Structure 1
């Protein structure tokens, strides 16, 4: 039994006239009658009783009609769902992000806009450092990941520039320069720097070290932090000073102050990473939308 047989049957069942059903289906009356007879023979029951004015459904026909309508409706829904998934309008999109990326307004704006545009796509979010997220991406655990872009260029991964953020100084309120609005980075040459391990966030680590070297000194290694939000807390606990992306200044922790730097601007880039061979429509839709939000 094929779906067309079910469609033929329902057309006759609704018209109760083979000739009118044939006209509706756009086929000849004799072929339609043959198909109905073949369906009845295959099922081993009579679906219609012939009358002088057309046909009427038998009890078997009545029972089959209810299920036949359900089958065609389920088939229609299945086709629509497949087409919707093919357009990236449903399914699940797995998004990774670094702790610092989550504070950038572009990230929240993009995710909010995507949810509004594709309400039937379920979003799952995973936080990790850059190294972890690139591993997740390689393993297919996440489809896209917001990362701090440095010199790394993993095989099979492409980066889409999203934003460039200035770096700011974060100091404990007890620091001798805490009341300054702008600070020369060289003035912190003797202070220990609270940083993430380079293996966890090579870009952020390298930006901080590079800025210090540009200012004429090698940063004093202080307490290491497990994630960027912890950097601010450790600074508040007077373990040292640090540099953070400007969006992280939203973290209002008691005991710290933020300040701009004088001299050459120091910035860090935010990028959206994806697998080069990624062909899923929902991922492509997210990347296309991201280009509209990019601030670079």
Structure 2
């Protein structure tokens, strides 16, 4: 019969103390039962583990070998217990985050990713660039745990969607365009671009920006002329730089400095916006995911509250 963990703890404590009575005090038990346990271990193994001395005990050669192995076993058990409790608190594990291509350019996103990694260094965070429909599939197929998206998602029973904040859009236009040179920095009406060719970004797999563009142009009184289509935001801006047309993009895309591209603000009446959304699979019990969602939502609420207070105060 193999020794159990309780016996190993008794044995290790006696070996460390070198005295049965002191070991019993440390274990919170009486000395006679502890002596009986050690004797039972020796009988079970058919080995003498301790040599009795006038003022204590000392390990035999066999006892020393068992002592070294037992300490490793107990240390590994303690480590396993700590790891299990840490995982239950969401402090260890893995988090797979899907991000729309324009999302990382918003300063909020790298800030919260960095804050989460600093708060939970034991969690492996991986980022996967994907468009909205790809992200929905990834969440459904469990290849993603959470997604930061731009799209207005339909009501899906399997998803929980948190609306974090809104971001206004600007016009990306060729740097050589007359409107980029004239009245530099002045907001313009979207109707000023009615004669331009608009580049359609990710029209099928991530239609949110295309839909926002169409809706904004219609509100401004014209139907946009759609020209080239681009699968990614970088290729969209590449087409803008090459003079193929203009595009409505999130304002944070200004952070992507590209030769040949200028950005123009729009007057508030014609300024569309895109949401920043956090989507998760409904019913997930992951503590890691819960910690991430809580951190992101708290951070977004702080930004939204601070922005509202600044607007109210006129700052």
Task: Give TM class, smaller chain.
Answer: over 0.9
CA distance in 2, matches of 1:165, 1:192: 23
Describe how 1:1-296 pairs up with structure 2 within 5 A.
1-178=3-180, 179-180=182-183, 181-262=186-267, 263-294=269-300, 295-296=303-304
What per-residue deviation string (whole Å, max 9, x for no partner) do you get for residues 212-231 of structure 1? 11112222121111111221
CA distance in 1, matches of 2:84, 2:277: 31
Q: How does the TM-score come out when normalised to structure 2? A: 0.89
Shift of 1:192: 1.6
CA distance in 2, matches of 1:194, 1:117: 41
CA distance in 2, matches of 1:254, 1:17: 79
Instruction: Answer whether contact 2:190 2:270 (CA < 8 A) is retained.
Output: no
Number of residue pairs aligned between Structure 1 and Structure 2: 296
Unpaired stretches in structure 1, ≥5 consecutive residues: none
- SS for the counterpart of 2:179 is coil
What per-residue deviation string (whole Å, max 9, x for no partner) do you get for residues 124-179 of structure 1? 11111111112112222221111013142333211222221111011113334223
Alignment RMSD = 1.7
Unpaired stretches in structure 2, ≥5 consecutive residues: 305-315
Shift of 1:274: 1.2
CA distance in 1, matches of 2:85, 2:53: 43
Query: Which deviates the most, 195-204 or 208-217?
Result: 195-204
CA distance in 2, matches of 1:106, 1:169: 21
Q: How does the TM-score come out when normalised to structure 1? A: 0.94
Instruction: Answer whether contact 1:100 1:229 (CA < 8 A) is retained.
Output: no
CA distance in 1, matches of 2:191, 2:270: 12
CA distance in 1, matches of 2:175, 2:56: 93
